[in-house]
């Protein structure tokens, strides 16, 4: 005979001992626990327990399902909780298991946005099995477990709705692969840090406007990166070597950068940066943040002055992808377990090679090509896409004595 299920849902004011009391009652009946979900929001409890039993009238303790029903009703009455019990079968429950994670990020997150996202999910024939909040500030992140959806089709539908609602939406497959992305490779300029290092250098050379124009063309994909780099670097000729120290002091990390790196390192992730910028600046970031791997260009210096040339092979669009592959191989990490983050056209190959490519406040061509895009200004929002909540980050910081608010 097919196994049957009872879904027991209790709602009402939370208090200590509710879960213990209910399971004590269940222990007196021949049932097995198939699933549990408990949520407390502002002191109000929602507790769901799915139990399975064989046939219609289990035996072995002299009790019946009718007796179990009565016992649960008594628990709910004693605790002042509302009760709902629904019957089903084990096969029905298996079909509803989630296969995708949908992350919705916004600041603020409005009801209309959730209505639009939920509507698209329903229209695609999929079901929302579970909803969880991963962060309430500085951005709100809600994660939904989805079953019955085609990943590519749902991703396209939700990307369109995200534009309408002005929110960020990411769709990822569930399972171990999501938890096993152990190498993060990130662009530097306008990603890990705010602004472009070459423009900071150019400001000291009096050529900022020209360099900024060429940089913008390159990031939009309108100009070959290697050629654009040579043109911009040539404008730096004659700068004294001391300019590097001044520019290092002018570099500003993107909000949330320290939190992101610190948290991932705490979880034993490997962290790498790849940059079309310069080792004279990125090396200090590596030391400051404890980054594992880095690749960048090196400006030539002769007799204490910049020559307007770079040394060695240029780290360009394909060079960034090769660096990611090299870092992954050196760490023994499959490419499918890597995450790449960038904003410009020269990051496209890197984003395509990685298991998950994230466009962070990126140019349109990058947002369209990446697996997912973030437009919020907080770099540590990437943690939510990896299933790491704000509460977990803060709890770990408190344990380690990190007192400063590094946003």
Task: For 222-260, write each residue's pLDDT tens digit.
Answer: 778 888 899 999 999 999 999 999 999 999 999 999 999
Would you call 347 a catalytic residue per the annotation? Answer: no
322 pLDDT exceeds 50? yes
- pLDDT of res. 350: 97
- pLDDT of res. 129: 84
φ, ψ for residue 25, nearest 5 deg: -65, -45
Domain at 183-196+251-400, CATH from 3.40.50.1000, 3.30.420.40, 3.40.50.2300, 3.90.226.10: 3.40.50.1000
- Kindly name the residue from 78, 129, 168, 189 that is annotated as catalytic: 189
Residue 313: how many CB atoms within 10 A of its CB?
11
Decide if 358 contacts 341 (C-beta within 8 A): yes
**Taking CA 322 as the corner, what is the angle to CA 320 and CA 328, rounded to the nearest 5 degrees?**
105
- pLDDT of res. 58: 42
DSSP state letters, 194-219: ES-HHHHHHHHHT-HHHHHHHHHHHH
225 vs 302: CA distance, rounded Å: 25
234 vs 386: CA distance, rounded Å: 41
Q: Where in the chain is the domain with CATH 3.40.50.1000?
A: 183-196+251-400
Q: Where in the chain is the domain with CATH 3.30.70.260?
A: 3-94, 98-174
**What's the CATH architecture for 3-94?**
2-Layer Sandwich (3.30)
Decide if 270 contacts 182 (C-beta within 8 A): yes
Question: Which residues, other chains included, contact 108 with Cβ-Cβ below 8 Å and sequence gap of 6+?
Answer: 140
3 vs 25: CA distance, rounded Å: 20
- Kindly name the residue from 14, 35, 152, 187 that is annotated as catalytic: 187
24 pLDDT exceeds 80? yes
Superfamily of domain 98-174: ACT domain (3.30.70.260)
Would you call 14 a catalytic residue per the annotation? Answer: no
- pLDDT of res. 90: 62
280 pLDDT exceeds 50? yes
252 vs 177: CA distance, rounded Å: 33
Per DSSP bridges, beta strands 338-342 and 356-360 are parallel
Strand order in the sheet with 140-147: 127-135, 140-147, 100-106, 168-173
306 vs 297: CA distance, rounded Å: 14
Per-residue pLDDT reduced to its tens digit, 103-162: 999 999 999 999 999 999 999 989 888 888 999 989 999 999 998 888 889 999 999 999
63 pLDDT exceeds 80? no
Q: What mean pLDDT comes out for the span 50-68?
A: 65
């Amino acid at each position: 005979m097919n196994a049957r299920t009872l879904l027991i849902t209790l709602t009402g004011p939370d208090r200590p001992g509710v879960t213990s009391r209910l399971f004590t009652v269940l222990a007196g009946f021949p049932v097995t626990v198939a699933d549990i979900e408990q949520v407390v929001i502002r002191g109000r409890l929602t507790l769901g327990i799915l139990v399975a039993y064989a046939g219609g009238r289990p035996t072995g303790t002299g009790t019946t399902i009718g007796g179990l029903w009565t016992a649960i009703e008594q628990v709910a009455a004693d605790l002042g909780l509302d009760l709902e019990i629904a019957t089903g079968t084990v096969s029905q429950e298996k079909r509803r298991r989630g296969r995708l994670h949908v992350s919705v990020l916004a600041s603020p997150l409005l009801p209309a946005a959730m209505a639009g996202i939920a509507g698209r999910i329903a229209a695609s024939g999929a079901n929302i099995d579970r909803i969880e909040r991963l962060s309430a500030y500085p951005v709100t992140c809600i994660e939904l477990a989805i079953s019955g959806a085609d990943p590519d089709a749902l991703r396209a539908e939700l990307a369109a709705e995200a534009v309408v609602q002005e929110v960020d939406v990411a769709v990822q497959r569930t399972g171990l692969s999501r938890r096993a992305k152990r190498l993060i490779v990130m662009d530097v300029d306008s990603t890990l840090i705010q602004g472009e290092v070459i423009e900071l250098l150019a400001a000291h050379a009096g050529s900022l406007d020209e360099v900024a124009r060429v940089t913008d063309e390159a990031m939009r994909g309108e100009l070959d990166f290697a050629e654009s780099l040579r043109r911009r670097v040539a404008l730096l000729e004659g700068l004294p070597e001391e300019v590097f120290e001044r520019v290092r002091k002018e570099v500003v990390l993107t909000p949330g950068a320290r939190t992101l790196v610190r948290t991932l390192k705490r979880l034993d992730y490997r962290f790498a940066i790849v940059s079309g910028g310069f080792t004279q600046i990125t090396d200090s970031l590596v030391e400051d943040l404890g980054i594992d791997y880095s690749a960048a260009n090196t400006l030539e210096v002769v007799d204490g002055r910049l020559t307007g040339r770079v040394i060695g092979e240029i780290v360009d669009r394909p060079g960034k992808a090769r660096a990611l592959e090299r870092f992954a191989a050196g760490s023994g990490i499959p490419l499918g377990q890597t995450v790449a983050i960038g904003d410009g056209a020269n990051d496209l190959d890197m984003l395509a090679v990685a298991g998950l490519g994230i466009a962070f406040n990126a140019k349109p061509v990058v947002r369209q090509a990446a697996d997912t895009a973030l437009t919020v200004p907080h770099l540590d929002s990437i943690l939510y896409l990896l299933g790491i909540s704000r509460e977990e980050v803060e709890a770990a910081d408190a344990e380690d004595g990190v007192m400063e608010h590094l946003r």
